[in-house]
Chain A
Amino acid sequence: MHRQSMMQPGTLEMLILKTLKRFGPLHGYAIAKSIQQASEDVLQVEEGSLYPALQRILLKGWVTAEWVQAGPKRRNRIYQLTKDGRNQLTAEISEYRRVSQAIERVIEPA
């Protein structure tokens, strides 16, 4: 509800999808760490906000989740990209490119 985020709404979802596409199926903790590492800690996501985002894209059908036993007393929920998610990612990335290039063209000549 009151997430302090410097990201646009929807960006986190795109990053999750991208991470899953690049590394294959992962659990939440691993997704959070990969995003932080890949962005060289620029994107300091409040880690917990990952989970509402994961719930949203689960409902949209862009990822599926499966519980995997990880030790005697613990199991992890592993997320995997679906075909819908892959399409969504492609669409979002090209949209993102278009917008950021446009923004770049506006600020570049300065």
Chain B
Amino acid sequence: MALFGQFFRRLAVLLHRDRLDRELEEEIESHLELQIQDNRENGMPEPEAGASARRQFGNAALLKEASREAWGWRWLEQLAQDLAYAARIMRKNPGFTAIAVVVLALGSGANTAIFTVVNAMLLRPLPFRDAHQLVSIAEINRPKGIEGGWVSPGSYLDWRDRSHLVQDIGAFESQPMTLTGAGDAMRLNGVHATASLLTTLGIRPVLGRLFTPQEDQPKGNAVALLNENLWRDHFGGRSDILGRPIVIDSKPYTVVGVVACDIRLDQEPWDVWTPLGLGPDDLHSYRGFWLFTIGRMKPGVTVDQARAEMRAIGASIYRRDPELAGYEVTTETLSDKVVHGIRPELLLLSAAVGLLLLVACANVANLLLARAMQRGREISVRAALGAGRWRIVRQLLTESLVLALLAGAAGLLLAYWAVNLLYGWMPQRMQTGVRPDVDLAVLGFTLAVSLGTGLLFGLAPAFRAAKVDLVESLKESSRSVTFGRGRLGGALVIAEAALAVVLLTGAGLLIRSFVQLLSVNPGFRPERLLTLKVPLPFEKSSARVAFYEELLQRVKALPGVRSAAAANYLPIYGIGPSIEYAVEGSPWKGSGAFVGTRNVAPGYFETMGIPLLKGRTLDLHDDSKGTRLAVINETMASAGWPGEDAVGKRFKLNPSINRDWTTVVGVAGNVKHFGLDGKKWPEAYFPELGWGTMSLVVRTSADPLALVPAIRAIVRGMDPNVPVADVRSMEKIVTDSVAPRQLSMILVACFAGLALALASIGLYGVIAYSVAQRRHELGVRMALGAVRGDVLRLVLARGTSLTLAGLALGMAASLAATRLLSGMLFRVTFLDPLTYAVVAVTVLAAASAAAYIPARRATRIDPMEALRYE
């Protein structure tokens, strides 16, 4: 109750502060009058009576302050005062304010932008119910280099039935599908999924219903679910879609529901879902791996527990079949799997952008130091009037925080704009379908960064300024008002330079890697090469062959086309299925060599510009002859027939089940099938056109994309139900494949450039300040006969010593920091001497330029004027 009363009294104080202030004033006034009266009555002379009364009373201003403090709202008032004062100071120095805010906004904006992406992709849970319970379960074979994560139906069904810790497991197979009968034929990202996948993920239909387990049977109903986006864009978002038949890959399906799911579990968000329909036949299929599986752990089960259980179940499966030697089951959280590819890049960017922020902080701290020097007298006067040290620190910190918050707000705007730009640039591989946006976490992050930076750059200058020597600084001479900025400022510049060096080294290594990557010979000529996919909905292989043959004939006849061919998988971003093979004459050991297979049309090597090393290429009639023929690549030739001529030799695919031999007719150069930084892999090319989806490759004499309308017209003319998809030039495929590296390289290089610019500005400030301080000394030197060159050297020496210190520190830090970069480098070690040399030269050059400007000014000092100035 007593506390309650006190609270209301305090509140009343807050509301009636002005009246209370007046009353306190009046009370003190009346106290003094009474004292003066008493003094007079005791016979004290007039001026003495008043002075004595006041002396006895003490520092009235301070005591009033103390009384107000007793009311308990002093902090609020002081905050308001400090804020108003900070605003006034900032308005009075618009140049300073603008520079500080811009520098900090760059730092906090860049951090906010990167954090927005990190937040969306790494920190926020996936958009599924209780996403932390979801795990991706996969089968890999490390000894054989099979790490794609595909799962055999037999294993999947075993896991589903035998696991106690994972309550529900769903399986799926992504499959491009062609939608016809509703406008133009359309290429869609489809998925065959078990009914349990939808319930495992916790997906609810937006409209209609999901599959039933009965529909998910080998001879279940042909039903389909549509993605919400496809439903809205293509079917007008009308609810009468339910029960309507649609034609997918020439087969009728009934739409039973609409689902919302933007997440990329595999490659793309899926447009169409159809039942997978595993049956009894699949129960015993352990050797064919073609599914992906996602499980939901029971509540309270950890990933480690689930992993151990799945591993044990897997081991019991693999023990039964020697063919499966080397396989094991891996279990990781779904979010780990989804962000797996982009995590290193995002962490790298976070680190780089954090360093940039530190540089910005050091820079602004230096600016504030310089300003504290100018404001020395103001601060001294405040201290002399009774402001405590803490009070002064608080006021200066308030100013820093206001600066930082302003910069934070500006940075947020900057980040909002930058994130959209960034997301647009981000290559598809890095986009996980979770669009980064500004949410509460991002706002909190920006606020925390602003407050943190405000403290970081404000604290040192504030304490330095508050530690003022009153007597010294109140003397007339303004020269004696120094806060030892020289040393602290120098230390800050060294730190800035060191941080910039670390960033520059990182950027340099990434740039070197990228240049190395671009200089990799892809094994073919990507210029003026058009690629496009033509998926055929025909059941019969012969119909597909006929279609592709005619299509190629017609495309070749187009003006501007030099040659044309087709392949089922294109280099760089596609690898064909790898199949086990055995070489004739050497005993097959049961497990061992794998070869990537590609089906190509005649003329593929000529069109792509893949060099033929030995033998001949494939021609039109190779397919129809009795024996199977193939062109193999260099790697397979040297692996299968080391030291021998492979042409004319024979090998067998799937040796355990297959009896047919394939004869090598030629050896072609290696092609970078896994991307420019990819590994070498044995490859075999077969003359076959009967594949469901072939990509056309067209060598043109001019801009390849100019031919697209003509080719589309040909395809439409041959069959309106055949879509044309993935139209890209081969050069675009190559640049897209290096885009993630390119993006992080460009960003880190930008951050490093900014850091270097900031560090140079910081150095410039410190040198300019020291020149101003040593004006007198320099004047004396020049009066005593120092020539301009001497002065120039003297000033530059200070800049150089600071820079060298920063460079040495930064190099040492780089050696430690860039080691973490090793995984992202390509044909460059993190100790690359060239990079370090270029960084050293760049930093020295930038620093010399920054120091030269004030040094030049120093040489123009007129000795007479400098001496008179004192």
* Stretch touching chain A among B54-62, B237-245, B522-530, B820-828: B54-62
**What residue of chain B has the Cβ atom nearest to residue A3's Cβ?**
B66
B27 touches A48 (CB 8 A): no
User: For chain A residues 1-32, which have a beta carbon within 8 Å of chain B?
Assistant: 1-3, 27-29, 32
Q: Answer yes or no: A38 CB below 8 A from chain B CBs.
A: no
Would A60 and B6 be within 8 Å (CB), given that A1-B65, A1-B69, A52-B70 are in contact? yes
Which of A2, A55, A77, A84 is close to B71, meaning CB atoms less than 8 Å apart?
A55
Contact of B557 with A by CB under 8 A: no
Name B64-95 residues within 8 Å CB distance of A.
64-72
Chain A residue with the shortest CB-CB distance to B35: A29
In the complex, which range does the number of interface residues on chain A fall in? 20 to 34
User: Least Cβ distance of A50 to chain B in Å?
Assistant: 8
Q: Is B34 in contact with A47, judged by CB distance below 8 angstroms?
A: no
Q: Is A98 an interface residue (CB 8 A)?
A: no
B27/A59 in contact, CB under 8 A = no
Interface membership of A56, Cβ < 8 A: yes
Q: In this complex, what residue of B is CB-closest to A61? A: B5
Chain B residue nearest to A74 (CB atoms) is B30
Knowing A1-B65, A59-B10, A76-B30, the reply to whether A51 touches B388 (Cβ < 8 A) is no
Alpha-carbon separation in the docked complex, A29 to B64 (Å): 16
What's the least CB distance linking B145 to chain A, in Å? 75
Residues of B within 8 A of A3 (CB): 58, 66
Q: Are A59 and B67 in contact (CB under 8 A)?
A: no
Number of interface residues of B (CB under 8 A): 34
Interface string of B31-64 (1 = CB under 8 A from A): 1011100000000000000000000111110111
- When C-beta atoms are compared, the residue in chain B nearest to A56 turns out to be B70
- Is A97 an interface residue, CB under 8 A from the partner? no
Q: Say yes or no: B30 contacts A29, CB within 8 Å.
A: yes
* Pair B9/A51 contact, Cβ less than 8 Å: no
A87: min CB distance to chain B, Å = 10
A101 at the interface (CB under 8 A from B): no
Contacting A29 at CB < 8 Å: which of B31, B72, B388?
A: B31
Q: Is B784 an interface residue (CB 8 A)?
A: no
Q: If A46-B58, A47-B58, A52-B69 touch, does A59 touch B13 (CB 8 Å cutoff)?
A: yes
Is the beta-carbon distance between B34 and A61 smaller than 8 angstroms? no
Task: Tell me the residues in window 39-75 of chain A with beta carbons closer than 8 Å to chain B beta carbons.
Answer: 46-49, 51-56, 58-61, 67, 70, 74-75
Are A52 and B6 in contact, CB atoms less than 8 angstroms apart? no
- Are B63 and A61 in contact (CB-based, < 8 A)? no
Given A59-B13, A61-B2, A61-B5, also A52-B30 (CB < 8 A): no
* B residues near A53, Cβ cutoff 8 Å: 70
- CB-defined contacts of B60 to chain A, threshold 8 Å: 48
**Of the residues B13, B33, B69, contact of A74 by C-beta under 8 Å:** B33
On whether A77 and B386 interact (CB within 8 A), knowing A29-B30, A49-B58, A61-B6, the answer reads no
Does the CB pair A55–B6 fall under 8 Å?
no
Residues of chain A lying within 8 A (CB to CB) of residue B386: 2
- Closest residue of B by beta carbon distance from A33: B38
Within 8 A of A (CB), among B328-387: 386
Question: Any chain A CB within 8 A of the CB of B727?
Answer: no
Q: Report chain B residues within 8 Å CB of A51.
A: 24, 27-28, 31, 63-64, 66-67
Contact with A along B589-606 (1 / 0, CB 8 A): 000000000000000000
Chain A residues whose C-beta falls within 8 Å of the C-beta of B619 in the assembled complex: none
Q: Is B832 an interface residue (CB 8 A)?
A: no
Beyond A29-B31, A48-B28, whether A59 also contacts B66 by CB under 8 A is no
Contact A61 B70 (CB under 8 A): no
Chain B residues near A55 (CB-CB < 8 A) = 24, 67-68, 70-71
B9 cross-chain contacts in A, Cβ below 8 A: 58-59, 61
Residues of A within 8 A of B24 (CB): 51, 55
A91 to chain B, nearest CB (A): 13
In the complex, whether B266 has a CB less than 8 A from a CB of chain A is no
Q: If A77-B23, A84-B2 touch, does A52 touch B388 (CB 8 Å cutoff)?
A: no
Looking at B6, B13, B35, B63, which has the most chain A CB atoms within 10 Å of its CB? Answer: B63
Known: A2-B388, A59-B9, A84-B2. A49 touches B66 (CB 8 A): yes
Among residues of A, the one whose C-beta sits closest to the C-beta of B53 is: A47
| In the complex, chain B residues whose CB is within 8 Å of the CB of A70 | 30
Distance between Cα atoms of A1 and B66 in the complex (Å)? 6
Q: A47 to nearest B CB, angstroms? A: 5
In the assembly, what is the distance between CA of A76 and CA of B28, in Å? 10
Q: How far is the CA of A32 from the CA of B63 in the complex (A)?
A: 15
Residue of A nearest to B37 (CB): A29
In the bound complex, residues from chain A placing their C-beta under 8 Å from that of B31 are 28-29, 32, 47, 51
Chain A residues contacting B71 (CB-CB under 8 Å) are: 55, 59
Q: Do the beta carbons of A52 and B10 come within 8 Å of each other? A: no
Chain A proximity of B743: nearest CB distance (Å) = 56
Q: Give Cα A48 to B27, complex, Å.
A: 11
Partner of B67, one of A32, A52, A75: A52
A35 CB → nearest B CB, Å: 13
Contact of A52 among B2, B13, B33, B63 (CB under 8 A): B63
Identify which of B30, B56, B64 contacts A47 (C-beta below 8 A): B56
Contacts of B67 in A (CB 8 A): 51-52, 54-55
User: Among the interface residues A3, A54, A59, A77, which one has the most CB atoms of the partner chain B within 10 A?
Assistant: A59
Min distance, Cβ A88 to any Cβ of chain B, angstroms: 10
- Tell me, rounded to whole Å, the shortest Cβ–Cβ distance linking A68 to chain B: 11
With a cutoff of 8 Å between Cβ atoms, the chain B residues found around residue A59 in the complex are 6, 9-10, 13, 70-72
**Complexed CA–CA distance, A53 and B27 (Å):** 14
B60: nearest residue on chain A (CB-CB)?
Answer: A48
Residues on the B chain within 8 Å of A61, using CB: 2, 5-6, 9
Q: Could you say which residues of chain B place their CB within 8 Å of the CB of A56?
A: 70
Which partner residue on chain A sits nearest B61 by CB separation? A48
Q: What residues of chain B have their CB less than 8 Å away from a CB belonging to chain A?
A: 2, 5-6, 9-10, 13, 23-24, 26-28, 30-31, 33-35, 56-60, 62-72, 386, 388
5 further contact pairs, Cβ within 8 A, besides A2-B386, A29-B35, A51-B27: A46-B57, A59-B13, A59-B72, A75-B26, A76-B30
In the A-B complex, the 3 residue pairs with the smallest Cβ-Cβ separation, listed nearest first, are A48-B58, A52-B66, A48-B63
A sample of 30 inter-chain contacts (CB < 8 A) reads A1-B69, A1-B388, A2-B62, A2-B386, A2-B388, A3-B58, A27-B30, A29-B30, A29-B31, A47-B56, A48-B58, A48-B60, A48-B63, A51-B24, A51-B64, A51-B67, A55-B67, A55-B68, A58-B9, A59-B6, A59-B13, A59-B70, A59-B72, A60-B6, A61-B5, A67-B23, A74-B33, A75-B26, A76-B27, A76-B30
